């Protein structure tokens, strides 16, 4: 009788593993072994796959091409030492409009921003304003410095981060964090939705809820963290 019970347990475990794997095959956004695609929905494995691009930037060309995203990649390194930009990319205006400039960043940060704009920002703008976002205003990607109050280098030192300050809607309306976070109801709701959505994409998401230094912008970076994404 004990042997029969053991056989049944083994069969249940094998069957469960098989069904689990089949489920992951149908949901690649949750499967850490499935290749990243910007066309996939955001899932449990999305952030880890994106942060992995920091070490494998050569994947970006195919990734952006498959998604129909226009981007320029550069083989030359920028900066030196701890502030070295390795194979940076530039998103072009057809992919996502950034103002006042189209900055350089890591492949990982750029891919995360595209995914966030397409999967999070666009539907949130339609939901709360009934119109689309035509551009994102940023405060830079690269800055050779350490994290304020600490000794560790900022992710901005290697272009692995974006600071987003405002959104321009098709009507011309500007939704800025400095005014909107505690401002009009629709702006508050929109900004919190896009912040919450970013937490499933980026390694670090910091908002005005984090501290006064982020009262006027979101900080997004693609730092890989052993303890999971930071979302504040």
Tokens of 74: 């550069």
What CA–CA distance (Å, rounded) separates 207 from 216? 8
Q: What is the pLDDT of residue 11?
A: 43
Determine what percent of the chain is predicted with pLDDT higher than 70.
Answer: 84
Going by DSSP bridges, is the β-strand pair 218-221/104-105 parallel, antiparallel, or unpaired?
unpaired
- Rounded percentage of the chain residues whose pLDDT exceeds 90: 58
Tokens of 85: 């930009």
Given a cut of 50, whether residue 18 has pLDDT beyond it is: no
Distance from C-alpha of 227 to C-alpha of 203, rounded to nearest angstrom: 10
Partners of 174 in the β-ladder:
168
Mean pLDDT along residues 5-22 = 50
- Are 95 and 110 within 8 A, CB to CB? no
Give the residue, 69 or 147, on which the prediction is more confident: 69
pLDDT in tens, 177-205: 999 999 999 999 999 999 999 999 999 99
pLDDT grade for 109, boundaries at 50, 70 and 90:
very high
As a whole number of angstroms, the distance between CA 206 and CA 229 comes to 11
**Strand, helix or coil at 42?**
coil
Checking if the pLDDT of 103 tops 50, the result is yes
Q: What is the mean pLDDT of residues 16-42?
A: 75
- Per the model's pLDDT, the better-predicted residue between 57 and 199 turns out to be 199
| Residue of higher predicted confidence among 188 and 52 | 188
Provide the pLDDT for residue 131: 96
Above 70 in pLDDT, residue 19?
no
The predicted structure's pLDDT at residue 23: 58
User: Which DSSP state fits 34?
Assistant: S
CA dihedral 174, 179, 184, 188 (to 10 degrees): 90
């Amino acid at each position: 009788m004990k042997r029969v019970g053991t056989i049944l347990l083994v069969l249940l475990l094998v069957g469960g593993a098989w069904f689990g794997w089949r489920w992951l095959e149908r949901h690649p956004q949750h499967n850490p072994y499935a290749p990243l695609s910007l066309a996939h929905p955001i899932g449990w494995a999305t952030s880890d796959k994106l942060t992995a691009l920091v070490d494998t930037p050569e994947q970006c060309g195919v990734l952006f091409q498959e998604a129909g995203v226009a981007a320029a990649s550069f083989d030359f390194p920028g900066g030196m030492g701890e502030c070295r930009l390795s194979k940076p990319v530039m998103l072009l205006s057809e992919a996502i409009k950034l103002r006042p400039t189209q900055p350089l960043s890591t492949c990982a940060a750029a891919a995360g921003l595209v995914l966030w704009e397409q999967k999070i920002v666009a539907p949130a703008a339609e939901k709360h304003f009934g119109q689309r976002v035509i551009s994102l205003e940023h405060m830079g990607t690269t800055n050779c410095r350490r994290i304020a109050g600490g000794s560790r280098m900022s992710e901005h030192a290697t272009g692995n981060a974006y600071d987003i300050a405002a959104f321009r809607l098709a009507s011309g309306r500007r939704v800025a964090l400095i005014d909107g976070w505690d401002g009009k109801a629709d702006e508050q709701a929109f900004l919190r939705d896009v912040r919450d959505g970013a937490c499933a994409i980026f390694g670090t998401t910091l908002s005005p809820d984090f501290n006064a230094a982020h009262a006027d912008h979101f900080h997004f970076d693609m730092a890989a963290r052993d303890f999971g994404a930071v979302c504040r």
